[in-house]
A and B are shown apart, each in its own frame.
Chain A
Amino acid sequence: MKRLSIPLALMLASAMFAVRGAAHEKKFGDDRGVMSAIAQAPPETRDWQNPYEGQPEAIAAGKKLYLRHCAECHANDARGSGHAVNLRSPGVQNATPGELVWFLRNGNLWRGMPAWSGLPIERRWQIVTYLKSLRR
């Protein structure tokens, strides 16, 4: 039992820290946070062309992907929740599609936005196509 006490104590402490940490994840939800994260995108991303731009099929596919992967934090209507950004905000809508697809790939790990690099780039473009359609 003595041998177990150190790993068990470490585990308990980290469990408390983990739950507290995730719940206290710094807000990446305000415009400033998003703007500063997107500003880190390399300049060439501004020239990346969205292969699905304006395509209704891609918007529908992007909406499906959004509801599956993003809506839990950003809300079904993409207006954000307590800790996640409003994706209809100017900070997001004024970014270029290339910057957004780069941001989806990298995330903002310090501020709680996961990296979605595991999604094929085709699906990230479809999500961006859907997000851009919300501007209307």
Chain B
Amino acid sequence: MLVVFGARADRLDGGKLLIAVRIPFALAFLLTVCATFAPPASAQDTPYFITDSHHLEEPGTLEIELSSNYATQRAGNDFIAPWIEFEYGAKGWWTTELYLDSQHIFNDGALFTGWRWENRFRPLMKEHWINPVLYVEYEDISGADKTMLEVVGSDSQADHAVRNAVASREHKHEIETKLILSSDAKGWNISENFIAEKNLGHQPWEFGYAVAASRPLRLAATSSPCNFCRENFVAGVEMYGGLGTTDSATLSGTSHYIAPVLAWQMPSGVTLRLSPGWGLTDTSHRFLLRWGLTYEISGFGHKVRSWFR
């Protein structure tokens, strides 16, 4: 369990340890303290790690999330890649998000691997059977990034077998766009993402997809307060993978994954998510394990503004 949560501290030197292990654990502790003392707030998040739905952050709400991706490596050392998200509801129709990525390859080392800035926009103001959302993200990451927040083109597990000293020399400036289509019906959420990503260093466009479905384990709420009851759990499954590039639009050599997801939304505003994933092709990692801890601060925008009055 300690390996999964990135606590193999004996293999790291001090500075890298600070980034890869201590900061995430300090933030996890901070989130737990916040959850204990802050007033309850809870949104309607889906349990997915990769797939986006049309549910945006509530206006003025800041969501802090600490997540991690553990993967087994066929030829090389397993790794864990923690990342931190700050998601803010700027408007009812616009959510903006900052990611800070890091990773640790066992028996190699730990790195801060870069940042991402993501924006999601709802062009339609009313709910429909299928709700589109437009997504634009700028990424400034190194070749050692292993968060696998999207799988595009012919991304493969071999890309992650390169040692940190070599992989970190590559810098990527990328634009990622998505068309998100999402529906809610009879308690189910069904979401489909079509991904197009472009390395600004004259690389071809890379394509990918993510599809997911989820449902609360109980639709109606019970009358009494509870933490460990079915209404607080959302279960589902997501599938994602690459679809080649503009130069080579083929499924050959692409990676695909299927991953059940489970979220526990506690009334305190904390959500825990867990998702084991399995690779479906020879170029995929055999096994992934993602986990996430989320805390919401409702009315954050109003509080910040009140400081400047």
Q: Mark B203-222, 1 if CB is under 8 A from A, else 0.
A: 00000000000001001111
Instruction: Establish whether residues A114 and B220, one from each chain, have CB atoms under 8 Å apart when the complex forms.
Output: no
Shortest CB–CB separation between residue B303 and chain A, in angstroms? 9
Instruction: Establish whether residues B90 and A22, one from each chain, have CB atoms under 8 Å apart when the complex forms.
Output: yes
Q: Is A134 close to B, CB under 8 A?
A: no
Which of these, A17, A56, A120, contacts B216 with CB under 8 Å?
A120
Give the interface of B toward A (CB within 8 A).
39-46, 53-56, 58-60, 88-94, 96, 98, 117, 119, 122, 125-127, 138, 140, 173, 184, 187, 189, 216, 219-225, 267, 298-299, 301-302, 304-305
When A61-B220, A120-B220 are in contact, do A72 and B91 touch as well, CB less than 8 Å?
A: no
Chain A at the B interface: mostly helix, strand, loop or mixed? helix
Across the interface, which residues of B come within 8 angstroms of A46, CB to CB? Answer: none
The 4 closest A-B pairs by CB, nearest first: A118-B44, A109-B92, A22-B301, A18-B90
A108 to B39, CA, bound (A): 25
When A14-B96, A68-B40, A109-B93 are in contact, do A23 and B302 touch as well, CB less than 8 Å?
A: yes
Q: Is A133 close to B, CB under 8 A?
A: no
When A57-B223, A64-B221 are in contact, do A72 and B39 touch as well, CB less than 8 Å?
A: yes
Which of these, A57, A110, A119, contacts B44 with CB under 8 Å?
A119
Instruction: Establish whether residues B221 and A25, one from each chain, have CB atoms under 8 Å apart when the complex forms.
Output: no
When A22-B89, A72-B39, A108-B92 are in contact, do A117 and B184 touch as well, CB less than 8 Å?
A: yes
Q: Is A86 close to B, CB under 8 A?
A: no
Instruction: Establish whether residues A110 and B184, one from each chain, have CB atoms under 8 Å apart when the complex forms.
Output: no
Size band of the interface chain A makes with B: 35 or more
Across the interface, which residues of B come within 8 angstroms of A39, CB to CB? Answer: none
Instruction: Establish whether residues B90 and A21, one from each chain, have CB atoms under 8 Å apart when the complex forms.
Output: yes
Instruction: Establish whether residues B90 and A17, one from each chain, have CB atoms under 8 Å apart when the complex forms.
Output: yes
Instruction: Establish whether residues A117 and B55, one from each chain, have CB atoms under 8 Å apart when the complex forms.
Output: yes
Instruction: Establish whether residues A126 and B93, one from each chain, have CB atoms under 8 Å apart when the complex forms.
Output: no
Shortest CB–CB separation between residue A53 and chain B, in angstroms? 14
Which of these, B45, B223, B305, contacts A20 with CB under 8 Å?
B305
Assuming A19-B90, A122-B220, what are 19 further A-B pairs, CB within 8 angstroms? A18-B91, A21-B301, A22-B60, A22-B89, A23-B305, A60-B223, A67-B40, A69-B44, A72-B298, A105-B127, A106-B125, A109-B91, A112-B59, A114-B92, A118-B55, A120-B220, A121-B219, A122-B187, A123-B221
Which of these, B60, B138, B184, contacts A25 with CB under 8 Å?
B60
Across the interface, which residues of A come within 8 angstroms of B140, CB to CB? Answer: 4, 7
Across the interface, which residues of B come within 8 angstroms of A60, CB to CB? Answer: 223-224
A115 to B304, CA, bound (A): 24
A72 to B299, CA, bound (A): 7
- B41, B43, B55, B91: residue with the most chain A Cβ atoms closer than 10 Å: B91
A122 to B119, CA, bound (A): 31
Shortest CB–CB separation between residue A31 and chain B, in angstroms? 20
Across the interface, which residues of A come within 8 angstroms of B216, CB to CB? Answer: 120
Shortest CB–CB separation between residue B101 and chain A, in angstroms? 15
Q: Output the nearest chain B residue to A56 by Cβ-Cβ distance.
A: B223
A17 to B96, CA, bound (A): 11
Q: Is A3 close to B, CB under 8 A?
A: yes
Across the interface, which residues of B come within 8 angstroms of A73, CB to CB? Answer: 298-299
A119 to B45, CA, bound (A): 9
Instruction: Establish whether residues A23 and B60, one from each chain, have CB atoms under 8 Å apart when the complex forms.
Output: yes
When A118-B184, A126-B220 are in contact, do A22 and B302 touch as well, CB less than 8 Å?
A: yes
